[in-house]
Amino acid sequence: MKELAGRLAALDPDAGAALQVIAYFDRLIEGRAGLESLVRGAAVLSGCPARLVDEERGVRVRVEAEGTRRDDGGPLDPAWPSAPLTPDGPPAVWLERTGVSDGVHAMVLERAAAAARAVLDRTRGRAPAEARQADPASVEVLLDAAATEHARRQAAVRLGLRNVSAARVVATAEGGPLVEAVPATGDSTPTTGGRRAGIGPAVPVRDLPASWAAARTALRFTAEGTDQDPGPRTVYADELGGLALLADTVGPTTEPVPDVRALEHAVATAPWAASTLNAVAFSTSLRAAAAELNVHHSTLQDRLVQAEHWLDWPVQDPHGRLRLQLALVLRRLHRNAAR
């Protein structure tokens, strides 16, 4: 090893040295070595101190040429050769050397950066949402109530949830579940990535399977938010109340009640029906509904007369409004299959 380091420092880059660099990092990856080992490999193979700096995750590792870890190395010098963790990202792996870098140094940087990225994704997760998707297998274990407690704890550690007091699951319409920490105080906006999402309750990490089940239920109450499929794109399980019970009894194969059939008929007949009835059902007043729909008050009145004819029940008294709300919600449940 000492000999190799000396050789790399002294010799022109040749295929043999490059192959040894590749073999060295491949074995580290195979052995699931940690970040310090990777940085040490970069330092020893290139014969100068090496650093890994990932500000986003708060990671700073510095190893001297002979393999000792010493993190206090002073400021980074932009003149040093470096490599980013992601193609267009900021420089993350550095070799503390000036002068001409040869192909072997470039190879060391490239291999070290690629290996470090894999380890970071595996062990620390990413700061925002993508990272949690980056390890779907760990999420799967964490949310599987049938997995052993040990396996689920390990998965939580891999996902960066070791010291988290509360977390929740975000079920999205496309793509897998996301798990995110919930701060003890203050609001936190769930990470939905703009997708339709059901938000599970914040729970201790060990109870995440329950949060996942609740999030899936909440997802079924969401809508696209379009004219043909009006309704909220994000639904909190905590806010469903008694409606959650409906999710257990209604699915795509359940026979719709007559109110839902009538609603479907209305929606199929007029392009404005779905959004108009949704606005009327869930707005505080007809005036607010008209504003939301961007139509004149009298236009709304005309539409309601037509709609009540199709539905065959009045929608403006409290009982009729409840029937309308339930019909709209049941329509979403029929459309959104359980997953």
Partner 1 sequence: MTTNPSAEAQGSRIGPPPPFDPELAAALEIIREQLPSSFSIEMIPALREGIALSEGADLDLTRDGAFEVEERTVPGPQGAPDISLLICRPTRAAAAVPVVYNVHGGGMVIGDNRTGVGEMLDWAEELGTAVVSVEYRLAPEHPHPALVEDCYAGLKWTAEHAGELGFDPERIIVAGASAGGGLTAAVALLARDRGTPVLLGQVLLCPMLDDRNDTPSSHQMAGLGVWDRAANHMGWTALLGDARGGPDVSPYAAPARADDLSGLPPAFIDVGSAETFRDEAVAYASGLWQAGGRAELHVWPGGFHGYDLMAPQAALSQDTKAARLRWLRRLLEN
Which chain residues interact with partner 1 by CB under 8 A?
Answer: 1-5, 20, 23-28, 30-34, 36-37, 40-41, 43-44, 66-68
Identify which of residues 69 and 296 has a Cβ nearer to partner 1 in the complex.
69
Give 68 or 316: the residue with its C-beta nearer to partner 1: 68
State the first-to-last Cα distance of the chain, in angstroms, to the nearest integer. Answer: 54
Nearer Cβ to partner 1 (32/265):
32
Closest Cα partner for 314 from 327, 305, 325? 305
Burial of 80 (0-12, 13-18, 19+ CB in 10 A): middle
3-state secondary structure 96-132: CCCCCCCHHHHHHHHHHHHHHHHHHHHHCCCCCHHHH
Shortest Cβ 26–partner 1 spacing (Å): 8
* Beta carbon nearer to partner 1, 45 or 263: 45
Closer by beta carbon to partner 1, 19 or else 76: 19
Q: In whole angstroms, how far apart are CA 53 and each of 99, 108, 187?
A: 21, 16, 31
Report how far residue 180's alpha carbon sits from residue 172's, in angstroms, rounded to the nearest whole number: 13
Strands 234-236 and 197-199: parallel
- Considering the complex, state which of residue 1 and residue 145 has its C-beta at the smaller distance from partner 1: 1
| In contact, 274 and 332? CB cutoff 8 Å | no
CB of 120 to partner 1, least distance (A): 16
CB of 214 to partner 1, least distance (A): 41
Q: Compute the distance between CA of residue 22 and CA of residue 107 in angstroms, rounded to an integer.
A: 8
User: C-beta of 114: minimal distance to partner 1 in Å?
Assistant: 15
CB of 46 to partner 1, least distance (A): 12
Comparing CB distances to partner 1, the nearer of 71 and 174 is 71
The amino acid occupying position 111 is R
CB of 50 to partner 1, least distance (A): 11
The alpha-carbon radius of gyration of the chain (Å, integer) is 29
Q: How far is the CB of 43 from partner 1 (least distance, A)?
A: 8
Backbone angles phi, psi at 173, to 5 degrees: -65, -40
Nearest by Cα to 197 from 241, 233, 240, 162: 233
